[in-house]
Amino acid sequence: MTNITGMHHIAIQAKDYKATIKFYESLGLTVFHSWTLPEFNIEYAALLRIPGTSSFVEIFDKGANVATQGRRAQDGETPVAGALLHFSFTVKDATAAYHEAIAAGAASCVPPSVLFLGEPPMTVYNSLVYGLDGEVIEFIETLPG
């Protein structure tokens, strides 16, 4: 039996909450809801909606005490790797998304490229950037054939 009906959100702990919100807004997401939750030391949190979907990126302030995998990176430290490798947005144009993210402050991870994947054959155009908080963001555009 499958009970999963979709992906609700990916959560990010921001080094600079306002800058991270602005970054994702520049990619086209919109603030859907925001809150505080003192019992978890959450001063600022927000869900940003991916346009036309019921999927979100959830942003927490730097001091929020929320569940995470492994230990948190210390100030100035490269993010500590865990099982979550990256998250991916489907896009109309992977090259445009890459350049928009770079213009908004992201750093290049993998420039736009074409991938030919598996069986049945699938061709995708993708690009990856490092977000403001070290998160790896993939932009994926499915191509015919």
Mean pLDDT value across residues 82-95: 88
- Per-residue pLDDT for 143 more than 80? no
Q: What are the DSSP calls for 89-105, one per residue? A: EE-S-HHHHHHHHHHTT
d(CA 16, CA 113): 31
CB 26 within 8 A of CB 18: no
Q: Where are the alpha helices (DSSP H) in the chain?
A: 17-26, 94-103
Q: What are the DSSP calls for 42-63, one per residue? A: EEEEEEEEPTTSS-EEEEE-TT
d(CA 19, CA 23): 6
State the pLDDT confidence band at 67, using cuts at 50, 70 and 90. Answer: confident
- Per-residue pLDDT for 82 more than 80? no
Mean pLDDT value across residues 37-52: 96
- Which candidate, 132, 15, 129, places its Cα nearest to that of 72? 15
Q: What is the pLDDT of residue 70?
A: 74
**Pairing mode, if any, of strands 136-143 and 87-90?**
parallel
Tokens 């994926």, residue? Answer: 140
- Per-residue pLDDT for 3 more than 80? no
- What integer best gives the mean pLDDT of the chain? 90
CB 101 within 8 A of CB 137: yes
Q: What is the pLDDT of residue 138?
A: 95
State the pLDDT confidence band at 50, using cuts at 50, 70 and 90. Answer: very high
Q: What is the pLDDT of residue 4?
A: 77
Q: What is the pLDDT of residue 6?
A: 82
